[in-house]
Amino acid sequence: MPEPQVIIITGASRGIGHAIATHLLEAGHKVVLTARSPEKLEELQKEYPSQVQYLAADMTLPDTPYKLKELALLHFHHINAVIINHGALSPMTRVANSSIDDWKALFDANFFSALALAKETIPYLRETKGRLIFTSSGAATGAYTAWGAYGTSKAALNHLSKHIAVEEPDITSVAVSPGRVDTDMQKELREKGKAEMAPKDHEAFSKEFEAGTLVRPEQSGGVIANLAVSAKPELAGRYFKWNAPELAEYQLS
């Protein structure tokens, strides 16, 4: 069995993040988890006491990245990978109706907190020739009415990954769209998006849920988890859909 790796995961209490954490723990790896709500993190620590450390915290607070890094080093002594998975969808408003303060708050949540954690951990990822995996979105490359704040924040995340790949040749940085996943974010979209989204887009998302064809968190989460363990350097700086042919070896059988 390969040597267990030490992996930081944000947004780990539910949905894709929880699926990523579970996948890695079942494979014997060690994880440092964070989310605002501690209950699910506590459950994972009780089930895997020697493999889990966690921090219940808001990623937008300026000291959270430092605390996460220190927690990993204190208990596990190095860092092999960081999975930046946290994020928010709202505000769902058209640009003409939007609040600049709301956009700034979303960029703090989706982009600047990710930048802060990447900056904090890059020196340690250099040492291990590690991996930095960003949970992106199809909205980073395609536009939906009322998704301006979310889509542009994810596009910025993709570009951050590309810059890190250029600047840090010993770190493999990859951005992954997890697809339309059956998570709380999709529920938020269905319940709150109707007022501002284009009717055809809202209907398409709703129909996928009703048909049971949304991606399961374990599917795309498994790909992200496997990339964190063994993404090849030639993937650095690139953005992929979770089920892209280039990621076939990381997909669950």
Active site residue 46: no
- Give the contacts of 35 (CB within 8 A, at least 6 positions apart): 10, 11, 12, 13, 14, 17, 41, 54, 56, 86
Could you say which of 48, 150, 239, 250 is catalytic?
Answer: 150
Active site residue 90: no
Distance (Å, rounded) from C-alpha 125 to C-alpha 113?
Answer: 18
Cis peptide before 91 (omega within 30 of 0): yes
Distance (Å, rounded) from C-alpha 110 to C-alpha 139?
Answer: 13
Active site residue 136: yes
Could you say which of 144, 154, 220, 239 is catalytic?
Answer: 154
The β-bridge relationship of strands 131-135 and 172-177 is parallel
Specify the residue for token string 């049971």.
212
Specify the residue for token string 């859909």.
241
Distance (Å, rounded) from C-alpha 122 to C-alpha 199?
Answer: 43
- Check if the beta carbon of residue 174 is closer than 8 Å to that of residue 223: no
Could you say which of 13, 136, 153, 161 is catalytic?
Answer: 136
Distance (Å, rounded) from C-alpha 185 to C-alpha 139?
Answer: 13
Strands (E), the chain: 6-10, 30-35, 52-56, 81-84, 131-135, 172-177, 239-241
Active site residues: 136, 150, 154
